[in-house]
C-alpha cells in the first residue's frame, strides 16, 4: 500500500500516512531504556513518535522503528527487517502535512514507521 500523496493528506486532523485512519490515541510511552516518548500505534500496524521540539528527530526515528519491531532497537539497521517511514509535520496554519519540510523547518513532526514483509 503506497504512502498517501500530499494533496490527499492535508487535513486539520492527524491521520496515518499509510492507511489514512484517524490517529486519536497518542500518549506517553516509556521505552525499554526508561525514556518517555509521545506516540502510539495505528490500526494498520504502523508505529509513530511525536517530536514536538524538533530537536530529537534521530532519537524519535530510532524509537519509532524499534516500536514497530516490538522494541527491537537493532531493526533499523537490519536488512532482514524491512520497513518504510515518513514524516508528518504540523504546519503553522493548523494543518498536518506530509514530508519533513526541508533543512530549516522547525515545525513539530510525527515519524511514522510501518513494517514490510521480507522479500
Mean pLDDT of 46-63: 87
What does the alpha-carbon distance between residue 76 and residue 28 come to, in Å, rounded to a whole number? 22
- Those residues whose C-beta lies under 8 Å from the C-beta of residue 95, and which sit 6 or more positions away, are 10, 11, 12
Residue 8 has pLDDT above 60, yes or no: no
Residue 18 CB: number of other CB atoms within 10 A? 20
pLDDT for residue 107: 76
- State in Å, rounded, how far the first CA of the chain is from the last one: 15
What does the alpha-carbon distance between residue 42 and residue 23 come to, in Å, rounded to a whole number? 7
Candidates 13, 78, 85, 77; CA nearest to 46 is 85
DSSP state, residue 11:
B
Residue 108 CB: number of other CB atoms within 10 A? 14
pLDDT (tens digit per residue) in 85-111: 988 887 666 667 676 666 656 778 889
pLDDT (tens digit per residue) in 31-46: 999 989 999 999 999 9
Residue 116 lies in a domain: no
Instruction: With H, G, I as helix, E, B as strand and everything else as coil, classify residue 13.
Output: coil
- In the chain, how many domains are there? 1
Residue 63 has pLDDT above 50, yes or no: yes
Residue 115 lies in a domain: no
Domain with 20, as residue range(s), is 6-110
- The C-alpha cell at 115 is 513494517
The percentage of residues in the chain with a pLDDT greater than 70, rounded to a whole number, is 77
Amino acid at each position: 500500500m503506497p504512502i498517501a500523496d500530499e494533496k490527499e493528506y492535508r487535513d486539520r486532523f492527524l491521520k496515518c500516512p499509510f492507511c489514512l485512519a484517524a490517529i486519536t490515541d497518542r500518549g506517553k510511552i516509556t521505552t525499554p531504556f526508561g525514556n518517555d516518548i509521545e506516540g502510539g500505534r495505528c490500526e494498520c500496524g504502523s508505529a509513530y513518535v511525536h517530536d514536538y521540539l524538533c530537536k530529537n528527530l534521530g532519537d524519535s526515528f530510532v524509537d519509532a522503528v524499534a516500536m514497530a519491531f516490538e522494541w527491537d532497537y537493532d531493526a533499523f539497521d537490519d536488512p532482514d527487517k524491512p520497513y518504510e517511514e515518513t514524516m508528518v509535520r504540523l504546519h503553522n496554519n493548523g494543518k498536518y502535512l506530509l514530508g519533513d519540510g526541508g533543512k530549516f523547518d522547525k515545525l513539530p513532526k510525527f515519524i511514522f514507521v510501518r513494517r514490510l514483509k521480507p522479500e
